[in-house]
C-alpha cells in the first residue's frame, strides 16, 4: 500500500517518516485554497484537508492506496490567522499572539478505496509576552513566513511557547493520535 501525502509540508513528511510509514510518497495538491466564509476553524480545516486529499486521490491514487490531506490554521478570538502575506503581516500576527492564548486547528482527511474520513484537532497554545525586537529578529530568520499564525512551535518560536493544552504534533501540522484513529477506522495500522 502506498501512502500519499497531499502536502508539501516538510514537517508533515518528517512526522510520517518518524512513524516509519512505508512507501510514503509526497504529492502536493495543486488546487488553490479557496476561502470558506462562515465556517468555524475546525470546519474550515476539515474542508481544506478534504479538498486536498480528494484532488490528489483523483489524480494519482490506485486501489489500496491511502491518501492523506491536512490543513492547519491558527485562531485568535475566533479569527483565523493563515500564513502571513509578508514580513510585516508576520510581525502583526506575532504582536497579536504575544502574551495570549490562541488555538491551533488541524484538519486531517484520509481516503482509501472510496472511503473518506476527516477529523479536526484543537490545541491551545499560550505565548509569553514578546517584545518588538525579538518579533522582528524572529521574522528576519524567515521561519514564520510559510507557517499558519507566523510561527513554528518546533523551531525558534519554541522560545515563545509557555505551555500547550492538547496534542503537540497538532501544532506542528499533523495530529498523530487523531491520525492513528482515522487510519484504524480504514483498516490501516502503523504498529
Tell me how far CA of residue 54 lies from CA of 10, 26, 41, 150, 173, in angstroms: 20, 15, 20, 27, 19
In the 8-state DSSP scheme, what is residue 104? E
The sign of the torsion formed by the CA atoms of 51, 56, 62, 68 equals negative
CA of residue 151 relative to chain centroid, distance: 12
Q: Whole-angstrom Cα distance, residue 89 to residue 98? A: 14
Q: Of 71, 77, 113, 132, which is the active-site residue?
A: 71
131 is a catalytic site residue:
no
Q: Whole-angstrom Cα distance, residue 185 to residue 3? A: 16
Q: Whole-angstrom Cα distance, residue 187 to residue 191? A: 12
Q: Which residues are catalytic?
A: 71
Amino acid at each position: 500500500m502506498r501512502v500519499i501525502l497531499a502536502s508539501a509540508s516538510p514537517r508533515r513528511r518528517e512526522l510520517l517518516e518518524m512513524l516509519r510509514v512505508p512507501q510514503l510518497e509526497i504529492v502536493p495538491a495543486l488546487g488553490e485554497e479557496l476561502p470558506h466564509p462562515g465556517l468555524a476553524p475546525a470546519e474550515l480545516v476539515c474542508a481544506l484537508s478534504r479538498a486536498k486529499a480528494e484532488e490528489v486521490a483523483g489524480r494519482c491514487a490506485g486501489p489500496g492506496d491511502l491518501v492523506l490531506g491536512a490543513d492547519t490554521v491558527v485562531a485568535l478570538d475566533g479569527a483565523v490567522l493563515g500564513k502571513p502575506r509578508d514580513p510585516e503581516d508576520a510581525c502583526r500576527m506575532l504582536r497579536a499572539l504575544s502574551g495570549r492564548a490562541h488555538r491551533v486547528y488541524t484538519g486531517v482527511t484520509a481516503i482509501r478505496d472510496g472511503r473518506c474520513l476527516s477529523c479536526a484537532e484543537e490545541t491551545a497554545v499560550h505565548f509569553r509576552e514578546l517584545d518588538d525586537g525579538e518579533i522582528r529578529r524572529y521574522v528576519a530568520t524567515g521561519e514564520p513566513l510559510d507557517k499558519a499564525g507566523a510561527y513554528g512551535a518546533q523551531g525558534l518560536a519554541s522560545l515563545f511557547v509557555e505551555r500547550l493544552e492538547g496534542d503537540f504534533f497538532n501544532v506542528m501540522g499533523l495530529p498523530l493520535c487523531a491520525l492513528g484513529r482515522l487510519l484504524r477506522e480504514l483498516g490501516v495500522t502503523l504498529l
